């Protein structure tokens, strides 16, 4: 039988097959890299806020306790957000008439909460609980970074599933003594966790990495 395709056509076909495969692999690789990169997770990107609230001033300089504004962080799933009243404990005196603080006054007048933009929201199918972490010695700084130095609040961690699991596989090196969970710039001082804590997490690792712990 006569040759169906010329030798040249066969070469071109083979070459384009190879190139095509390379392109697909490249695109997949790029997709993988970008899906894992910080920018995809909005790390370091501030969100527009109704009031230019500054943690560096209120937590850093004025040293107001995190719990003054995020009242349920030790017990509940949600950390809780401050009401306009909470801000007004000071701002009915300090900067009382400032136009910057107008959203506080209208919040009180209309009896509507201030609409802060979240920078940390997980998808609805993932379950998180602040109390479970904070009460076991996982610090704000570990997951949220140096909030006390932020003029604008940003994410410092991806909050991806891989990030959660990295810790859940072996939380012990990330734990602090209970009195240090609100501390910023904390140094471990070579204090080892007691053996009973280590044993507890060796036993708990199965539970902490099972799907229905975070997807219920
Ligand atoms: C414990 C007191 C206190 C509380 C509570 C408080 N503030 Fe302040 N705030 C201050 C002080 C003090 C200043 C600094 C005033 C100055 O430097 O002139 C300030 C400054 C500000 C400024 C101006 C920042 C700038 O750019 O200089 C804004 C905006 C502000 N606060 C918003 C808020 C909001 C919103 C809340 C509630 C979530 C709040 N504050 C709660 C004491 C407080
Ligand atoms: C005076 C009140 C106040 C204090 C004290 C305070 N915060 Fe906040 N926090 C706010 C307000 C208001 C917002 C919303 C605006 C913003 O994101 O900056 C916020 C937002 C946040 C967010 C982002 C929330 C989201 O929806 O993504 C984190 C994380 C946070 N605070 C952590 C802390 C930590 C950690 C401390 C203690 C070091 C602290 N805050 C102390 C008022 C406060
Ligand atoms: C183990 C990691 C971790 C620790 C520790 C942690 N957070 Fe969070 N935080 C998160 C995650 C994840 C979210 C997003 C939760 C969601 O969308 O369900 C979040 C959200 C928030 C929010 C937004 C409101 C909310 O609850 O959704 C605030 C405010 C906040 N954290 C403050 C704090 C403070 C203050 C501390 C320390 C006492 C703290 N967090 C400790 C991981 C952590
Ligand atoms: C730095 C370490 C660390 C990170 C990061 C972390 N966790 Fe945890 N998580 C813990 C520890 C420690 C516990 C407490 C385990 C215990 O003692 O039962 C816990 C407990 C939990 C529990 C309660 C489990 C139960 O059975 O009671 C849930 C749900 C959870 N984590 C979800 C998450 C999610 C979702 C993320 C990521 C957004 C996350 N965690 C990130 C350390 C971490
Ligand atoms: C420690 C908490 C935790 C555990 C355990 C966990 N996940 Fe997740 N998972 C998350 C969080 C947080 C997200 C949302 C962030 C993201 O997409 O990475 C997520 C996202 C997902 C997604 C959506 C991913 C995407 O790219 O859209 C799937 C599917 C999923 N998880 C399946 C699983 C399965 C299957 C298991 C058990 C083998 C599991 N998860 C265990 C926390 C967890």
Domain co-membership, 167 together with 192: yes
pLDDT in tens, 67-78: 999 999 999 999
- Residue 24's pLDDT band, with cuts at 50, 70 and 90, is low
- Residue 27's pLDDT band, with cuts at 50, 70 and 90, is low
CB 37 within 8 A of CB 100: no
**Is residue 133 predicted with pLDDT exceeding 70?**
yes
Residue 200: per-residue pLDDT: 94
Domain co-membership, 190 together with 210: yes
Residue 145: per-residue pLDDT: 98
Radius of gyration of the chain (CA): 25
Q: Is residue 95 part of a domain?
A: no
Q: Is residue 80 part of a domain?
A: no
- Residue 1's pLDDT band, with cuts at 50, 70 and 90, is low
Q: Ligand 5 pocket: which residues have CB below 6 Å?
A: 122-123, 126, 160-161, 164-165, 168, 209, 211, 213-215
What is the residue range of 14's domain? 7-31
- Residue 5's pLDDT band, with cuts at 50, 70 and 90, is confident
CB 43 within 8 A of CB 157: yes
Q: Is residue 213 part of a domain?
A: yes
Into how many domains does the chain fold?
2
Q: Is residue 100 part of a domain?
A: no
β-strand partners of 149: none
Q: Is residue 111 part of a domain?
A: no
Q: Which atom of ligand 4 is nearest to the CA of 126?
A: 35
pLDDT in tens, 71-106: 999 999 999 999 999 999 999 999 999 999 999 999
Domain co-membership, 126 together with 25: no
Distances (CA, A) of 193 to 143, 159, 168, 171: 20, 25, 16, 11
Residue 31: per-residue pLDDT: 55
Domain co-membership, 52 together with 156: yes
Cα torsion 180, 203, 190, 131 to 10°: value is: -10
Alpha-carbon distance of 103 to 113, in angstroms, equals 10
Main-chain dihedrals φ then ψ at residue 192, nearest 5 degrees: -80, 150
Q: How far is the CA of 76 from the centre of ligand 5 (A)?
A: 21
Domain co-membership, 26 together with 125: no
Chain Cα centroid distance, residue 86: 24
Q: Is residue 86 part of a domain?
A: no
Q: How far is the CA of 172 from the centre of ligand 3 (A)?
A: 19
Q: Is residue 202 part of a domain?
A: yes
Q: Is residue 174 part of a domain?
A: yes
């Amino acid at each position: 039988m006569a040759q169906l395709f010329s030798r040249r056509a066969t070469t071109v076909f083979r070459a384009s097959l190879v190139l095509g495969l390379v392109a697909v692999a490249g695109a997949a690789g790029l997709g993988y890299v970008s899906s894992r990169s910080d920018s995809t997770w909005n790390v370091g990107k501030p969100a527009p806020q109704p009031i230019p609230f500054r943690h560096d001033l209120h937590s850093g300089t004025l040293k107001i306790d995190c719990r003054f504004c995020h009242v349920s962080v030790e017990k509940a799933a949600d950390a809780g957000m401050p009401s306009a009243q909470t801000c007004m404990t000071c701002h009915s005196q300090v900067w009382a008439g400032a136009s910057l603080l107008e959203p506080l006054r209208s919040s009180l007048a209309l009896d509507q909460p201030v609409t802060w933009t979240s920078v940390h929201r997980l998808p609805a199918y993932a379950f998180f609980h602040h109390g479970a972490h904070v009460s076991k010695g996982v610090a704000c700084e570990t997951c949220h970074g140096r909030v006390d130095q932020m003029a604008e609040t940003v994410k410092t961690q991806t909050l991806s599933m891989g990030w959660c699991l990295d810790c859940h596989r072996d939380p012990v090196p990330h734990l602090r003594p209970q009195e240090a969970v609100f501390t910023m710039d904390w140094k471990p001082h070579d204090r080892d966790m007691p053996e009973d804590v280590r044993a507890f997490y060796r036993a708990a690792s199965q539970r902490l990495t099972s799907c229905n712990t975070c997807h219920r």
